[in-house]
Amino acid sequence: MELLRELTALQHQRGYLDEQTLRDLSERRNVPLYRLQGLVSFYPHFRTTPPPRACVHLCRDVSCALAGAADNTAKLSQALAGRDDVEIHEVSCLGRCDSAPAIAINDVPIPAEMRQDFAALLGLIDDPSPLSTHSTQTPAQTPRRWKCDPYSDPESRYGTVRKLIASGVDLSSHCPEQLKASGLRGMGGAGFPTGTKWSLVAQERSPVKYVVLNADESEPGTFKDRLILEELPHLVIEGMLLAGLTIGAAQGIIYIRHEYAPELRAVERELARAREAGVLGENAAGSGKRFDIEVFISPGGYILGEETALLEALEEQRGEPRNKPPYPGTHGLWGKPTLINNVETMAMAASILHHGPEWWRAQGEGDFAGLKFISISGDVAHPGVYEIPVGISVRELIERAGGMRDGKPLLAFLPGGASSNFLPADRADTPLDFVAMQQAGSMLGSGAVIVIAEGRDLFALATNLVRFFRNESCGKCVPCRVGSNKAVQLLEEVAAGTLSPAELQMLPELGETLTQTSICGLGQVALNPILSMMKQFPAEIPKSLTPH
């Protein structure tokens, strides 16, 4: 971790990493220069040329595309044409789909209210200094109360872990049993049973274990973990502590994307409070055991949300996914048993261990169990993050988000982020639940509903999604690297009219090849958007060609 941290610090100090800087670091750390160059060339946050006075990043992905990102980019590019002191880059998802189209200047996210005045935005680009004040601020704390949060005031926080420790209960069995009884599943996309995962790692006999929080959500449309980090960092920290005491780990690591700098400050503030209160440290919450948490800031890349790619980054390697098995639960960070959960899973685990599984199951709608944070973006009146009872329908969620923007009818939706399948409007009554969504032909995935109104070009949106996966492929395995690029080329040529739509008939076979042969989930889902669009909306295919 220290090598990547030092590279990040050097870039922060100098603005970029030139050859001499890398040579000096190579000699100082006794690390081969080629290894440093390999790291710098892999992680998109690093740059090897002097930065301009202002670097503007504009999100190009699906939620921002629906909000007019292309027009926004064109307008800015025209206004700044010929300027050599400004760089404009279209980038992958910035995690701010609720205020699309998202923009960052010098890595500082620009709030929606600061972007509404185009002249003012140009003023920020000409003089980014006002952003320095904004960039040091912690996100404002709101008076919102979340049902999952059992603490009504800061002084009562961490009461769950203190109470369990005082009771003398064996956490290594109690916590997994409670989580299994609740039915909690991983909220990062895979949906693996949380109690089972905690139990498996707890059973490992290694004296060294780790707890890793995956806060690298980077999939278009997914931004719920960002809000949890901002408003409920104490629940996340308590969940990590409970996990550490359960499995026998002394060290926790929060792996967070660098675009979440404002949210990181909220986390760091809460970590300091927890240490001051004795919740973290040598005698964590009075347990007699050490547990502390450190933060690692990702140098960038969607692929690092894949748990083994994340571990590679923590081990100072290029973030390329590992072959599995073995799995992180037995051979994780530095070869030691490692428990990896995402932000929402850790927060909900703390809530369940406070209230009990019966309370949790009662929070669902009808026969469904539990609560869920859902990101919703696209063609709705009020994009944002909503805490819902598991089991309410997509249609009800849209109503909670203010209904369809401008009253337009619903055409389609993605229920689980960019990697889920398109579903038509007539399935909007499907409950937001893992099994129900699977039965409907898609998945709950990362808990990100992207809403699309009638009149939208679904073929263009599906192409946008496949292009995202192509751009974010780490390139390690040939099927993903070559197959995703071939798919994008084909789709773009069909859209341009230079290739017959009949060529689209090769996509199902290409998708099956990627599913069967790609190392990680990125390649396995890369063609889901276009294949599901072709299946559910054949009339949207250019020239109405229906593939076999």
Domains and CATH numbers, the chain: 2-42 (no CATH), 54-135 (3.40.30.10), 158-359 (3.40.50.11540), 372-453 (3.10.20.600), 458-544 (1.20.1440.230)
By mean pLDDT, which of 142-151, 358-367, 517-526 is the weakest?
A: 142-151
Q: How confident is the model at residue 544 (pLDDT cuts 50, 70, 90)?
A: very low
pLDDT digits (tens, 9 = 90+) for 428-479: 999 999 999 999 999 999 899 999 999 999 999 999 999 999 999 999 999 9
Is the predicted pLDDT of residue 548 greater than 60, yes or no?
no
- For 376-399, b/e burial (b = at least 16 CB within 10 A) is bbbbbeebbbbbbbbbbbbebbbe
Strands 251-257 and 292-298: parallel
What does the alpha-carbon distance between residue 282 and residue 274 come to, in Å, rounded to a whole number? 12
- Please give the pLDDT value at position 190: 81
- The pLDDT mean for the chain works out to 94
Nearest to 199 by CA among 164, 172, 168, 161: 172
Average the pLDDT over 504-533 and give the result: 95
Asked if residues 266 and 229 have their Cβ atoms less than 8 Å apart, the reply is yes
- Please give the pLDDT value at position 545: 44
Q: How confident is the model at residue 117 (pLDDT cuts 50, 70, 90)?
A: confident
pLDDT digits (tens, 9 = 90+) for 32-45: 999 999 999 999 99
- Please give the pLDDT value at position 370: 96
- Please give the pLDDT value at position 138: 56
| Three-class SS state of 210 | strand
Question: What share of the chain in percent tops pLDDT 70?
Answer: 97
pLDDT digits (tens, 9 = 90+) for 64-83: 999 999 998 999 999 999 99
Is the predicted pLDDT of residue 189 greater than 90, yes or no?
no
Pick the residue with more confidence: 545 or 360? 360
Strands 103-105 and 108-109: antiparallel
Cα dihedral value 264, 270, 274, 276, nearest 10: 100
- At residue 43's C-alpha, the angle toward residues 39 and 46, to 5°, is 90
Q: How confident is the model at residue 141 (pLDDT cuts 50, 70, 90)?
A: low
Q: How confident is the model at residue 120 (pLDDT cuts 50, 70, 90)?
A: confident
- Please give the pLDDT value at position 379: 98
Tell me the residue type at 471.
Answer: N
How much is the pTM? 0.95
Output DSSP code: residue 49: S
What does the alpha-carbon distance between residue 255 and residue 242 come to, in Å, rounded to a whole number? 18
- Please give the pLDDT value at position 193: 96
What does the alpha-carbon distance between residue 181 and residue 356 come to, in Å, rounded to a whole number? 9
Strand ranges inside 343-398, DSSP E: 371-378, 384-389
